[in-house]
Amino acid sequence: MRVHVADHPLITHKLTVLRDKNTAAPTFRALTEELMTLLAYEATRSVRVEAVDIETPVTKTTGVAISSPKPLVVPILRAGLGMLEGMVKLIPTAEVGFLGMVRNEETLKPDTYAERLPDDLSNRQCFVLDPMLATGGSLIAAIQYLLDRGATDVTAVCILGAPEGLAALEKAMEGRDVTIVLGALDERLNEHGYIVPGLGDAGDRLYGLV
Ligand code: URA
Protein backbone atom coordinates (compact mmCIF):
# COMPACT_ATOMS: atom_id res chain seq x y z
CA MET A 1 0.00 0.00 0.00
CA ARG A 2 1.23 3.50 -0.81
CA VAL A 3 0.61 6.53 1.40
CA HIS A 4 0.77 10.13 0.22
CA VAL A 5 0.26 12.99 2.68
CA ALA A 6 -0.20 16.32 0.91
CA ASP A 7 2.40 18.90 1.79
CA HIS A 8 1.27 22.15 0.21
CA PRO A 9 0.66 25.55 1.82
CA LEU A 10 -2.62 26.07 -0.05
CA ILE A 11 -3.97 22.75 1.25
CA THR A 12 -2.85 23.54 4.81
CA HIS A 13 -4.42 27.01 4.56
CA LYS A 14 -7.78 25.64 3.41
CA LEU A 15 -7.61 22.89 6.03
CA THR A 16 -7.08 25.49 8.76
CA VAL A 17 -10.31 27.27 7.78
CA LEU A 18 -12.11 23.92 7.56
CA ARG A 19 -10.96 22.95 11.08
CA ASP A 20 -12.17 26.23 12.60
CA LYS A 21 -15.40 25.56 14.53
CA ASN A 22 -16.70 28.99 13.49
CA THR A 23 -16.66 28.07 9.78
CA ALA A 24 -20.30 27.72 8.72
CA ALA A 25 -21.70 24.96 6.48
CA PRO A 26 -21.71 26.89 3.15
CA THR A 27 -18.01 27.75 3.48
CA PHE A 28 -17.26 24.27 4.82
CA ARG A 29 -18.88 22.68 1.75
CA ALA A 30 -17.07 24.99 -0.69
CA LEU A 31 -13.71 24.33 0.98
CA THR A 32 -14.23 20.56 1.05
CA GLU A 33 -14.85 20.67 -2.69
CA GLU A 34 -11.77 22.84 -3.32
CA LEU A 35 -9.59 20.62 -1.15
CA MET A 36 -10.83 17.56 -3.00
CA THR A 37 -9.88 19.09 -6.34
CA LEU A 38 -6.36 19.74 -5.05
CA LEU A 39 -6.09 16.21 -3.64
CA ALA A 40 -7.53 14.77 -6.86
CA TYR A 41 -4.53 16.13 -8.73
CA GLU A 42 -2.31 13.94 -6.54
CA ALA A 43 -4.71 10.97 -6.44
CA THR A 44 -4.96 10.74 -10.24
CA ARG A 45 -1.20 10.77 -10.83
CA SER A 46 -1.38 7.14 -12.03
CA VAL A 47 -4.69 7.31 -13.85
CA ARG A 48 -4.51 5.09 -16.92
CA VAL A 49 -4.19 6.87 -20.26
CA GLU A 50 -3.71 5.77 -23.85
CA ALA A 51 -2.07 7.46 -26.81
CA VAL A 52 -4.27 9.45 -29.21
CA ASP A 53 -3.35 11.10 -32.47
CA ILE A 54 -4.57 14.65 -32.99
CA GLU A 55 -3.89 17.57 -35.27
CA THR A 56 -3.02 20.96 -33.84
CA PRO A 57 -3.45 24.03 -36.10
CA VAL A 58 0.25 23.56 -36.85
CA THR A 59 0.98 19.84 -37.13
CA LYS A 60 0.02 16.26 -36.31
CA THR A 61 1.01 15.09 -32.85
CA THR A 62 0.27 12.41 -30.29
CA GLY A 63 -1.31 13.11 -26.91
CA VAL A 64 -3.14 11.00 -24.34
CA ALA A 65 -6.74 10.34 -23.34
CA ILE A 66 -8.07 8.61 -20.23
CA SER A 67 -8.40 4.89 -21.01
CA SER A 68 -11.57 2.81 -20.92
CA PRO A 69 -13.00 1.42 -18.75
CA LYS A 70 -13.22 4.87 -17.22
CA PRO A 71 -12.22 5.34 -13.58
CA LEU A 72 -14.95 4.74 -11.03
CA VAL A 73 -15.39 7.30 -8.25
CA VAL A 74 -17.09 5.95 -5.11
CA PRO A 75 -18.07 8.44 -2.39
CA ILE A 76 -18.88 6.77 0.93
CA LEU A 77 -22.26 8.09 2.13
CA ARG A 78 -22.88 10.48 3.63
CA ALA A 79 -19.81 12.67 4.22
CA GLY A 80 -18.00 11.43 1.06
CA LEU A 81 -20.72 13.14 -1.01
CA GLY A 82 -19.18 16.46 -0.03
CA MET A 83 -16.03 15.49 -1.95
CA LEU A 84 -17.71 14.25 -5.14
CA GLU A 85 -18.02 17.52 -7.07
CA GLY A 86 -14.39 18.39 -6.40
CA MET A 87 -13.32 15.06 -7.88
CA VAL A 88 -15.53 14.97 -10.98
CA LYS A 89 -14.63 18.57 -11.77
CA LEU A 90 -11.11 17.34 -12.46
CA ILE A 91 -12.06 14.04 -14.11
CA PRO A 92 -15.51 14.60 -15.64
CA THR A 93 -15.56 11.38 -17.69
CA ALA A 94 -15.32 9.21 -14.57
CA GLU A 95 -18.33 7.10 -13.62
CA VAL A 96 -19.76 7.40 -10.13
CA GLY A 97 -20.92 4.57 -7.84
CA PHE A 98 -22.18 4.84 -4.27
CA LEU A 99 -21.58 2.94 -1.05
CA GLY A 100 -23.42 3.64 2.19
CA MET A 101 -21.78 2.23 5.32
CA VAL A 102 -22.83 2.46 8.93
CA ARG A 103 -21.32 1.03 12.10
CA ASN A 104 -23.34 -1.89 13.47
CA GLU A 105 -23.63 -1.08 17.18
CA GLU A 106 -23.77 -4.81 18.10
CA THR A 107 -20.86 -6.13 16.07
CA LEU A 108 -19.04 -2.75 15.93
CA LYS A 109 -18.27 -3.65 12.31
CA PRO A 110 -19.38 -1.53 9.34
CA ASP A 111 -22.56 -2.71 7.60
CA THR A 112 -23.34 -1.78 4.00
CA TYR A 113 -26.81 -0.18 3.87
CA ALA A 114 -26.70 1.17 0.30
CA GLU A 115 -24.81 0.11 -2.76
CA ARG A 116 -24.94 1.22 -6.38
CA LEU A 117 -21.91 -0.18 -8.19
CA PRO A 118 -21.27 -2.15 -11.37
CA ASP A 119 -21.33 -5.93 -10.60
CA ASP A 120 -18.02 -6.47 -12.31
CA LEU A 121 -15.18 -4.14 -11.49
CA SER A 122 -12.50 -6.14 -13.34
CA ASN A 123 -9.76 -3.90 -14.60
CA ARG A 124 -11.33 -0.78 -13.07
CA GLN A 125 -9.37 1.94 -11.34
CA CYS A 126 -11.45 3.06 -8.36
CA PHE A 127 -11.26 6.22 -6.28
CA VAL A 128 -12.93 6.02 -2.88
CA LEU A 129 -13.86 9.32 -1.21
CA ASP A 130 -14.24 9.48 2.57
CA PRO A 131 -13.21 12.68 4.37
CA MET A 132 -12.19 11.21 7.74
CA LEU A 133 -9.89 8.21 8.21
CA ALA A 134 -10.55 7.61 11.92
CA THR A 135 -10.44 3.93 13.01
CA GLY A 136 -10.31 2.88 9.34
CA GLY A 137 -13.17 0.36 9.74
CA SER A 138 -15.50 1.68 7.06
CA LEU A 139 -12.73 2.56 4.61
CA ILE A 140 -11.18 -0.92 4.92
CA ALA A 141 -14.60 -2.48 4.34
CA ALA A 142 -15.27 -0.24 1.32
CA ILE A 143 -11.90 -0.97 -0.30
CA GLN A 144 -12.28 -4.70 0.38
CA TYR A 145 -15.73 -4.60 -1.25
CA LEU A 146 -14.26 -3.07 -4.43
CA LEU A 147 -11.30 -5.49 -4.52
CA ASP A 148 -13.67 -8.46 -4.04
CA ARG A 149 -15.59 -7.32 -7.11
CA GLY A 150 -12.42 -7.29 -9.21
CA ALA A 151 -11.14 -3.72 -8.95
CA THR A 152 -7.47 -3.77 -9.88
CA ASP A 153 -6.29 -0.71 -8.11
CA VAL A 154 -7.95 1.45 -5.53
CA THR A 155 -7.02 4.93 -4.37
CA ALA A 156 -8.69 6.32 -1.25
CA VAL A 157 -8.80 10.06 -0.72
CA CYS A 158 -9.35 11.44 2.80
CA ILE A 159 -9.18 15.04 3.96
CA LEU A 160 -7.80 14.06 7.39
CA GLY A 161 -6.39 10.85 8.84
CA ALA A 162 -5.45 9.55 12.29
CA PRO A 163 -2.32 7.41 12.76
CA GLU A 164 -4.49 4.62 14.26
CA GLY A 165 -6.66 4.40 11.13
CA LEU A 166 -3.70 4.59 8.80
CA ALA A 167 -1.97 1.73 10.66
CA ALA A 168 -5.15 -0.40 10.48
CA LEU A 169 -5.48 0.31 6.75
CA GLU A 170 -1.82 -0.50 6.09
CA LYS A 171 -2.17 -3.82 7.94
CA ALA A 172 -5.39 -4.78 6.14
CA MET A 173 -4.14 -3.78 2.68
CA GLU A 174 -0.57 -5.04 2.91
CA GLY A 175 0.63 -6.19 -0.51
CA ARG A 176 -2.50 -4.88 -2.26
CA ASP A 177 -2.51 -2.30 -5.04
CA VAL A 178 -3.99 0.39 -2.80
CA THR A 179 -2.99 4.05 -2.41
CA ILE A 180 -4.16 6.51 0.20
CA VAL A 181 -3.96 10.27 -0.31
CA LEU A 182 -4.43 12.42 2.81
CA GLY A 183 -4.78 16.17 3.17
CA ALA A 184 -3.07 15.87 6.59
CA LEU A 185 -2.17 13.21 9.12
CA ASP A 186 -3.36 14.40 12.54
CA GLU A 187 -2.17 13.49 16.04
CA ARG A 188 -4.52 10.79 17.31
CA LEU A 189 -8.07 9.60 17.96
CA ASN A 190 -9.78 10.65 21.18
CA GLU A 191 -11.88 8.34 23.39
CA HIS A 192 -14.98 9.08 21.30
CA GLY A 193 -13.29 8.11 18.04
CA TYR A 194 -12.85 11.70 16.85
CA ILE A 195 -9.68 12.79 15.10
CA VAL A 196 -7.58 15.28 17.16
CA PRO A 197 -7.23 18.14 16.37
CA GLY A 198 -9.54 17.18 13.49
CA LEU A 199 -12.56 19.17 12.42
CA GLY A 200 -15.41 17.47 14.30
CA ASP A 201 -18.08 15.39 12.56
CA ALA A 202 -17.57 15.96 8.85
CA GLY A 203 -21.10 14.84 7.89
CA ASP A 204 -22.71 17.16 10.43
CA ARG A 205 -20.56 20.10 9.41
CA LEU A 206 -21.38 19.54 5.73
CA TYR A 207 -25.07 18.76 6.03
CA GLY A 208 -26.20 19.62 9.58
CA LEU A 209 -27.36 17.36 12.38
CA VAL A 210 -29.86 14.79 11.06
N1 URA B 1 -15.70 10.94 11.55
C2 URA B 1 -15.79 12.29 11.58
O3 URA B 1 -16.65 12.88 10.92
N4 URA B 1 -14.93 12.98 12.36
C5 URA B 1 -13.98 12.39 13.11
O6 URA B 1 -13.21 13.08 13.79
C7 URA B 1 -13.89 10.98 13.07
C8 URA B 1 -14.77 10.27 12.29
**Tens digit of pLDDT for each residue in 113-146?**
999 999 889 989 999 999 999 999 999 999 999 9
195 CA distance to ligand 1 middle (Å): 6
Question: What is the pTM assigned to this prediction?
Answer: 0.95
What ranges do the domains of the chain cover? 2-50+66-207
Is 78 labelled a binding residue? yes
Residue nearest to atom 7 of ligand 1 (CA): 194
Handedness of CA 181, 185, 188, 193 (dihedral sign): negative
Through-space distance between the first and last CA atoms of the chain, rounded to whole angstroms: 35
107 is catalytic: yes
Does pLDDT of 197 surpass 90?
A: yes
Fold observed for domain 2-50+66-207: Rossmann fold (3.40.50)
ipTM of the complex: 0.96
